[in-house]
């Protein structure tokens, strides 16, 4: 048995790892979640439900105020989650980085976007690592959850933390556990999604596993942080490549007057050797459009070219232009040029039933329509205002979806198929619908339907 009582004869002082292990086992540890967004918010809630004290950190003062009052700012997560955090005496929100010193575990859930030349932008990861380093003390575990290229945890974060003078694996601990959030998916909580856990050393992995085993239903140990980082990249590259495949097939089969959706559903009847992926107007969200480029950048650093992945990126990036061309062709069939035509866009979020527009193809499509002279408006029940985006500046507000708006539109373009939209009503009141999501399938409507 170890003890920290200096008056105890023959006392052996507990190590930082032993002290942290005890606090994790007894759930007396404080877990700081840095970045209270789409990943950090549900993680903080899951950790709180597991019985730990939680400190939610964000540099955005508006989020801190809403976290303290329970005001909803991520609608797809529901009001209940926001209220549960605000009303718990085991949760506190702060924008003061010095308070990270009280945390036993610091989990970084920050964006990893791309730069102007599709190079990794690790500024958020590096800046928050520096915050953690500024208050680093013995007995702390730092975990990165942001998706990044293999080697980030060890090669980029470790030197910053080591500059504190403390020793990793003895004084403090460092691990990687990639987020696997799927915004908008019903009935699947953070707790239910299996977690990968890999540290820069064995003791870091052990301690991170001890935390996540209590937070999620399944935590899977891997041999290193690099394995966990690579697995996360593989998950998203796999999706990006397969989506590119069906997107390319869609363009070809469109010209052959063959319905790609029916083709996929037919192929999906095979009970082995096939997994259905579906085409769309382009890739959106913070993972699939971005993460493959983290790997291609790292590969180029090592002297390799990831031709297959980069080709998939090119195919997916072309889809917004394909959709706009289909709108122009559909209008032309009606004897109308795209220029000066009224186009109503349904849905600007990157996927159904969320308010998340990160990397949404809707922004690119709307910009292209405006460049060609179209008069564009949009309806999205989850996004009343078009938010600020890194590469787009669109000053628009959602319009009501009523009969007048639908009848006035020369073309209704479905980009995001939110479940709350009455597509039978849309089809009854519209003259032309360009459907990039197969939302109109099976509906008997008066509108002419063109799939894109």
**Residues 64-106: tens digit of each pLDDT:** 999 999 998 888 888 899 999 999 999 999 999 999 999 999 9
pLDDT score, position 1: 30
pLDDT score, position 10: 54
Least confident range of 36-50, 295-309, 374-388: 295-309
Residue 294 has pLDDT above 70, yes or no: yes
Residue 140 has pLDDT above 80, yes or no: yes
Residue 112 CA: distances (Å) to CA of 9, 10, 56, 108, 348: 52, 50, 19, 11, 22
User: For the chain, which domains are there?
Assistant: 16-224 (3.40.50.720), 257-451 (3.40.50.720)
pLDDT in tens, 333-361: 999 999 999 999 999 999 999 998 988 99
Residue 414 has pLDDT above 90, yes or no: yes
Residue 8 has pLDDT above 60, yes or no: no
Contact 365, 281 (CB under 8 A): yes
Helices (H), 256-360: 260-267, 291-301, 307-333
pLDDT score, position 289: 78
Transcribe 97-143 into DSSP letters: GGGGGG-SEEEE-----B-TTS-B--HHHHHHHHHHHHT--TT-EEE
pLDDT score, position 11: 62
Mean pLDDT value across the chain: 93
Q: Give the Cα separation of 142 and 107 in Å (integer).
A: 6
Instruction: Determine whether 287 is an active site residue.
Output: yes
pLDDT score, position 287: 76
pLDDT in tens, 166-223: 999 999 999 999 999 887 777 788 999 999 999 999 999 999 999 999 999 999 999 9
Residue 3 has pLDDT above 50, yes or no: no
Helix-then-strand count for the chain, H and E: 14, 13
Residue 7 has pLDDT above 70, yes or no: no
Look up the pTM and report it: 0.90
Residue 320 has pLDDT above 80, yes or no: yes
DSSP SS3 for 448: strand
Of 287, 377, 383, 411, the catalytic one is: 287
Residue 6 has pLDDT above 70, yes or no: no
Q: Which two tokens stand for residue 186?
A: 């019903």
**Dihedral, CA of residue 187, residue 192, residue 193 and residue 197, to nearest 10:** 160
pLDDT in tens, 231-281: 999 999 999 999 999 999 999 999 999 999 999 999 999 999 999 999 999
């Amino acid at each position: 048995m170890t003890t920290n009582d200096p008056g105890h004869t023959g006392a052996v002082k507990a190590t930082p790892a032993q002290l942290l292990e005890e606090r994790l086992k007894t759930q007396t540890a404080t877990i700081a979640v840095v970045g209270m967004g789409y990943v950090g918010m549900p993680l903080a809630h899951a950790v709180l439900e597991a019985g730990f004290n939680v400190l939610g950190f964000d540099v955005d003062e508006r989020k801190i105020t809403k976290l303290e009052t329970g005001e909803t700012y991520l609608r797809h997560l529901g009001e209940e989650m926001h209220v549960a955090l605000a009303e718990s005496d085991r949760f506190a929100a702060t924008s003061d980085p010095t308070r990270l010193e009280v945390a036993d575990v610091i989990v970084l859930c920050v964006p990893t976007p791309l730069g102007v030349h599709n190079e990794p932008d690790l500024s958020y990861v590096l800046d928050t690592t520096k915050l953690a380093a500024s208050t680093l003390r013995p007995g702390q575990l730092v975990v990165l959850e942001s998706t990044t290229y293999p080697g980030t945890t060890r090669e980029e974060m470790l030197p910053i933390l080591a500059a504190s003078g403390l020793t990793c694996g003895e004084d403090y601990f460092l691990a990687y556990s990639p987020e696997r959030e799927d915004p908008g998916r019903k009935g699947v909580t953070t707790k239910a999604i299996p977690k990968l856990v890999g540290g820069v050393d064995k003791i870091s992995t052990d301690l991170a596993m001890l935390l996540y085993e209590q937070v999620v239903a399944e935590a899977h140990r891997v041999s290193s942080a690099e394995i966990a980082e690579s697995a996360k990249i593989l998950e998203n590259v796999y999706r990006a490549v397969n989506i590119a495949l069906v997107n390319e097939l869609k363009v070809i089969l469109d010209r052959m007057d063959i319905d790609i959706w029916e083709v996929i559903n037919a192929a999906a009847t095979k009970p082995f050797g096939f997994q259905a992926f579906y085409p769309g107007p382009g890739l959106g969200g913070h993972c699939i459009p971005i993460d493959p480029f983290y790997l291609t950048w790292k590969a180029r650093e090592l002297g390799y070219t990831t031709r297959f992945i980069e080709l998939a990126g090119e195919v997916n990036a072309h889809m917004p232009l394909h959709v706009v061309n289909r709108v122009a062709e559909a209008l032309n069939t009606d004897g109308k040029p795209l220029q000066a035509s009224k186009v109503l866009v349904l849905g600007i979020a990157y996927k159904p039933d969320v308010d998340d527009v990160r990397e949404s193809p809707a922004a690119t499509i709307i910009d292209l329509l405006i460049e060609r002279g179209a008069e564009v408006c949009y309806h999205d029940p989850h996004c009343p205002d078009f938010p600020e985006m890194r590469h787009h500046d669109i000053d628009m507000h959602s319009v009501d979806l009523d009969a007048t708006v639908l009848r006035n539109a020369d073309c209704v373009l479905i980009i995001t198929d939110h479940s709350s939209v009455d597509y039978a009503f849309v089809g009854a009141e519209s003259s032309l619908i360009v459907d990039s999501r197969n939302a109109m399938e099976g509906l008997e409507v008066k509108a002419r339907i063109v799939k894109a």
